[in-house]
Amino acid sequence: MGFESIEWFQLKAAKSKTKASGAGATGMRTQIAIGNQLELANWNCIDFEIVIFDLSHVNSALMEHKSKPVHGIIGADILLKGKAIIDYYNHCLYLLK
């Protein structure tokens, strides 16, 4: 989740000593929000942590390629919990209940 989305999603962010890496950058400062709920259609995940960090480099790259900016990135922890299947051809994400 990006810092700019804390208010939008009404997250209760706290300081974190963890540094984020990936999505094109390393060593970024982070915050953490605990006790969150995620709902995607009929699937939901309750009481999980969200790592909050600067996504400006991700959104800049997306906009350079004429794509819309994002609020966050769905992490492997959520994808694994939902036993995700990503259908790139049909642009679909399937999550098991």
Instruction: Kindly report the average pLDDT of the chain as a whole number.
Output: 89
pLDDT tens digits, one per residue of 17-48: 877 766 566 777 899 999 999 999 999 999 88
Q: What is the pTM assigned to this prediction?
A: 0.77
Distances (CA, A) of 56 to 71, 72, 89: 10, 11, 27
Residue 69 Cα to chain centre, angstroms: 12
Instruction: Give 15: exposed, middle or buried? Use CB within 10 Å, 0-12, 13-18, 19+.
Output: exposed
pLDDT at position 91 is 95
Which residue type sits at 8?
W
Whole-number Å distance between alpha carbons of 32 and 49 = 7
Whole-number Å distance between alpha carbons of 43 and 56 = 28
Query: What does the block give as tokens for 14?
Result: 């706290």
